[in-house]
Amino acid sequence: MRSGSGPVTGCPLSVSRPSLREAVRTSQARGRLVVKHDQGVFVATPRSEQELRAALVNAEVSINELFAMREVLEAPAAGWAAERIGPEQLI
């Protein structure tokens, strides 16, 4: 982006540069965007994903154990859902 206050060239919404800069600053402050000097503006990794990754790294359970737990939980859940489904929910 070059300095100036006119509309951003090539922007289909005809947004002014100051408005765009403010939107980027606000989104950056909220953790939605990451601004890298001389590289550009990027969408940030969601905090929930970062927290999940950190928890898995620090967890005492392995990925294999997580998949085993998933298998144990999903089969009864599917059976429970099948028993309770109504005709209006079938496609």
Q: Report the domain count for the chain.
A: 2
Residue 46: predicted pLDDT? 81
- Domain with 52, as residue range(s), is 47-86
The 10s digit of each residue's pLDDT in 39-85 is 999 998 888 887 877 877 777 777 788 888 898 999 999 999 999 88
Residue 2 covered by a domain: no
The pTM for the full model equals 0.46
Residue 20 covered by a domain: yes
Mean pLDDT of 27-45: 91
What 3 state SS string does 49-89 have?
A: HHHHHHHHHHCCCCHHHHHHHHHHHHHHHHHHHHHHCCHHH
Residue 25: predicted pLDDT? 94
**Residue 38 to residue 35: CA distance in whole angstroms:** 9
Mean pLDDT of 15-29: 90
Domain match, 33 and 58 both: no
**Residue 3 to residue 30: CA distance in whole angstroms:** 24
Among 32, 35, 53, residue whose Cα is nearest residue 44: 32
* pLDDT higher at 19 or 10: 19
Residue 91 covered by a domain: no
Residue 6: predicted pLDDT? 57
Residue 90: predicted pLDDT? 78
Contacts of 3 (CB under 8 A, 6+ apart): 17
Please report, for the domain that includes residue 28, its CATH number: 1.10.10.10
Residue 64 covered by a domain: yes
